[in-house]
Structure 1
């Protein structure tokens, strides 16, 4: 198996001689935020986090994607938070792309290295610190948990993508697959954050059109992605943000193409407000 590769923001600022030729686009059905626009000038600081900044690449928007937010968080050595999550109804997933993060969940310590994954249910007591000498970067995906009568809330867990198999789609000759951190039939979970892998030349050969909202952060490689009516070129470090029912398909290559995927799952549709 190839060693995992993880893109993260370019940071800094382009030189004054750079041309304005970006690929950023926001439409009624999707948005593309290219890696080249994730610069210092668009970062935010977070309450109760020290020596930390975040690129906010998705947030609930009425009439667009409404279920989740997604940050790329950078924590400098010595930084972090003992009060990271302000919303007691929020669940979260952390996925580390660079450096080391010391995560404590309900009094138990975990060291997250690149590929490290943590699921954090509502009300769990967690904190995060960078005790290393290099910056740590991770995705933080947040969603308001939808509880269901008679179904228990999921529990916290920590994993790493290196410890999870790629589950290849039937009939693809191991060319298109998903690394899943949660059993799809586990109805305690109302969101999945997975890694999708397409080997060179692999395709998603039909226009997926479904109720799930998506955040797709490209970890590695290049592809041509079908988004609604458009074919869009994307590469490592780009973020695609899709509202419900946005048609999507893909041609991957020339190298391996992988992305971190969010989707909302396993709940009835709300009827009215």
Structure 2
């Protein structure tokens, strides 16, 4: 199945006639960043990145979500970095939503296009060059790698969702599926980034309540999401940031598929103290 589109923020700035009322909310259990909050005024820059700006849509916060950060990167033609990551303990996942670039990992180059996924192991040298001639936008999710004695570190991965058959969830008649880039039984990995697809009318039919932290970026479509005790309407371009144990479920609203990029932390003991 090929998606019809991936939403990517364009920035800009609203004029003075726009109403202030919007859907943005921050609670002690979840946050919703509607697409309209991703304006020029909240972009940032990174050291050693050229012709690049970014929206930081999640960062570790004590007492909220502590395991990961998530950026939406915007790299202009000719931009990129030969020193992109300054933390040798940080692993990363990229997912391309617009444009393209050349990603070089440990000396091997890969052409990245929309739908492209890359896993970047901690401590492995990589660089990025936007040689496409157009602006590129991609998600970059970072987490400190939690090494385990006796387990090898995972190696780099470069894939594209177009080449992966989604896994249909049991007892859903095909309306709920997950595109997995990493084998869930591979315990070398301590985070998963997947794509969840719900067809119109499809539901997550129970309140998921679990230890994993989540970042959910809506790539396509719309839905009504249950977050803690609230029902929240979301659409393509919105971001949901969920603390551990925040109850969650949803109804997909149609008329097309509802799809989101999902982060969660997995496969490790809980730290005691």
* Fold conserved between structures, TM > 0.5: yes
| Residues 68-87 of structure 1 mapped to structure 2, 5 A cutoff | 68-87=68-87
CA deviations on 1:186-234 (whole Å, 9 max, x unpaired) are: 0000000000000000000100000000000000000000000000000
Instruction: State whether structure 2 residue 217 is matched by structure 1 residue 206.
Output: no
- Determine helix, strand or coil for the equivalent of 2:183: coil
CA deviations on 1:64-103 (whole Å, 9 max, x unpaired) are: 0000000000000000000000100000000000001110
- Determine helix, strand or coil for the equivalent of 1:6: coil
Question: What does residue 260 of structure 2 align with?
Answer: 259
Question: What does residue 111 of structure 2 align with?
Answer: 111
Question: What does residue 22 of structure 1 align with?
Answer: 22
- Determine helix, strand or coil for the equivalent of 1:7: coil
Report the Cα distance in structure 2 between the residues aligned to 1:231 and 1:219, rounded to whole angstroms: 20
Question: What does residue 162 of structure 2 align with?
Answer: 162
Question: What does residue 55 of structure 2 align with?
Answer: 55
Question: What does residue 238 of structure 1 align with?
Answer: 238
Report the Cα distance in structure 2 between the residues aligned to 1:38 and 1:192, rounded to whole angstroms: 25
Report the Cα distance in structure 2 between the residues aligned to 1:230 and 1:238, rounded to whole angstroms: 16
Question: What does residue 174 of structure 1 align with?
Answer: 174
Q: CA deviation at 1:3?
A: 3.4
Q: TM-score, normalised by structure 1?
A: 0.99
Report the Cα distance in structure 1 between the residues aligned to 2:76 and 2:17, rounded to whole angstroms: 30
Question: What does residue 250 of structure 2 align with?
Answer: 250
Q: CA deviation at 1:22?
A: 1.1
Is contact 1:10–1:36 with CA below 8 Å preserved after alignment? no
Q: TM-score, normalised by structure 2?
A: 0.99
Is contact 2:70–2:139 with CA below 8 Å preserved after alignment? yes
Report the Cα distance in structure 2 between the residues aligned to 1:5 and 1:206, rounded to whole angstroms: 28
Instruction: Kindly tell me the number of residue pairs found equivalent between the two proteins.
Output: 272
- Consecutive unaligned residues of structure 2, counting only runs of 5 or more, are none
Question: What does residue 221 of structure 1 align with?
Answer: 221
Is contact 2:2–2:162 with CA below 8 Å preserved after alignment? no
- Determine helix, strand or coil for the equivalent of 1:131: coil
Report the Cα distance in structure 2 between the residues aligned to 1:2 and 1:138, rounded to whole angstroms: 18
Q: CA deviation at 1:2?
A: 4.5
Question: What does residue 97 of structure 1 align with?
Answer: 97
CA deviations on 1:21-62 (whole Å, 9 max, x unpaired) are: 211000000000000010000000000000000000000000
- Consecutive unaligned residues of structure 1, counting only runs of 5 or more, are none
